[in-house]
Copies of this chain bind each other. A is one copy, B any other.
């Protein structure tokens, strides 16, 4: 059936046409149903979800946006939430509970059946942004002494509860990961062969403490559907699946873009305006502090400017161009770190390159601007000062644009967070200081 829109759903609710709503929830893709339900009150969502099986309800609820899930969980009773939590993918459940008040989460967990509760607790015990926090415990595994036929039979029994049965892990009696086999290989193999004969022994796995971004990068490199997550003794704890990795990739890219623009990652286009103000204001105030620092630099040269006001006209150009060039270097390095093109290894070469590029682009833009300034103010020396300042400030831009994210990474901090503030401060203060400083030294030639 076609997708329903919010007003249609509201009308159907009002007219108590629950049969139509039930059909919609059962027939449409859970993501589409979730999309349609998001504008409703928690009570209405709860009523609609109660029309379908617990499993289906959880599938739909799992597709509702995170902050809407939290709003729902805060509004309805713990038992209802528990009914959804125990049917959802355990990583999604852990994610939701992490966002709730600790006492609410505990109350909900009390109503979750034992096996699921333990899974959710295990996943919830790993810090956010680690492999452990996004893995699922619902993976398919086999013993290596099974025949292919027995393996397929066992998968048939287990499949309905597993998140994927396309990559199957082979474990020993201690639950330690010893191999991996794809369903494709099982289907292709002779039924009497042993799992041990067709399993790949060289299994790539990652630790539960691994950074989720690293898991995503590895899975993308290897085109993996799922990545097995193990503890120190190689015991298989769970798997991270491709759909979670897509979410990680999206969120990590958003985070980097937001950090470069001094934004809080909690913000979205339609975040409540007052909340947006609250989230952006601290960043702007920090930027204001650095702007005052730049203004203070200018104030050191007030008497020079008073002698030759043309300097006030030219001075934003040097600082502004430094800001642009700094943003270029910073973005190339931040993205390069995220994509694994550069690491601490290679940092020196990257730094030297950015300084060199800054020098050459400084020379190009400095030559153009030097000539324009010389002609505009009919003053050769102003042109020369412009040329020299542009080169120096674009070298500063390259230096700080590369250095700041590389140092943050070395300190195990996010290379994007706050970096643009450092870089802009360097290019603003540096640009004003160099341009006005040179002008002060050469003031005799200017006036």
Question: Nearest B residue to A218 by beta-carbon distance?
Answer: B31
Knowing A328-B262, A349-B270, the reply to whether A316 touches B291 (Cβ < 8 A) is yes
Task: Tell me, yes or no, whether A176 is within 8 Å of chain B by CB.
Answer: no
Task: Tell me, yes or no, whether A365 is within 8 Å of chain B by CB.
Answer: yes
Knowing A262-B328, A357-B273, the reply to whether A319 touches B316 (Cβ < 8 A) is yes
- The stretch among A67-75, A78-86, A183-191 that forms the contact with chain B is A183-191
Question: Nearest B residue to A275 by beta-carbon distance?
Answer: B357
A328 cross-chain contacts in B, Cβ below 8 A = 261-263, 280, 283-284
Contact B302 A269 (CB under 8 A): no
Name the contact of A220 in the complex, choosing from B243, B331, B365 (C-beta under 8 A): B243
Chain A interface mostly: helix
Knowing A159-B188, A254-B335, A332-B263, the reply to whether A312 touches B305 (Cβ < 8 A) is yes
Knowing A277-B364, A320-B428, the reply to whether A331 touches B257 (Cβ < 8 A) is yes
Q: How far is the CA of A368 from the CA of B323 in the complex (A)?
A: 24
Task: Tell me, yes or no, whether A100 is within 8 Å of chain B by CB.
Answer: no
- The stretch among A48-56, A130-138, A293-301 that forms the contact with chain B is A293-301
A372 cross-chain contacts in B, Cβ below 8 A = 292
Knowing A263-B332, A317-B288, the reply to whether A361 touches B270 (Cβ < 8 A) is no
- The stretch among A15-23, A102-110, A231-239, A245-253 that forms the contact with chain B is A245-253
Knowing A261-B328, A302-B312, A327-B261, the reply to whether A353 touches B184 (Cβ < 8 A) is no
Contact A222 B31 (CB under 8 A): yes
Contact A188 B156 (CB under 8 A): yes
Contact A268 B336 (CB under 8 A): yes
Task: Tell me, yes or no, whether A198 is within 8 Å of chain B by CB.
Answer: no
Q: How far is the CA of A281 from the CA of B183 in the complex (A)?
A: 52
Name the contact of A184 in the complex, choosing from B165, B327, B335 (C-beta under 8 A): B165
Which residues between 345 and 365 of chain A lie within 8 Å of chain B, taking CB atoms?
Answer: 346, 349-350, 353, 356-357, 360-361, 364-365
Name the contact of A341 in the complex, choosing from B219, B225, B268, B360 (C-beta under 8 A): B268
Knowing A187-B152, A187-B156, the reply to whether A257 touches B257 (Cβ < 8 A) is yes
Q: How far is the CA of A313 from the CA of B328 in the complex (A)?
A: 27
Task: Tell me, yes or no, whether A120 is within 8 Å of chain B by CB.
Answer: no
Knowing A321-B284, A330-B261, the reply to whether A270 touches B221 (Cβ < 8 A) is no
Name the contact of A315 in the complex, choosing from B160, B204, B312 (C-beta under 8 A): B312
Task: Tell me, yes or no, whether A306 is within 8 Å of chain B by CB.
Answer: yes
Contact B250 A250 (CB under 8 A): no
6 A-B pairs besides A285-B364, A316-B428 with CB distance below 8 A are A29-B202, A165-B184, A219-B246, A225-B242, A257-B260, A316-B432
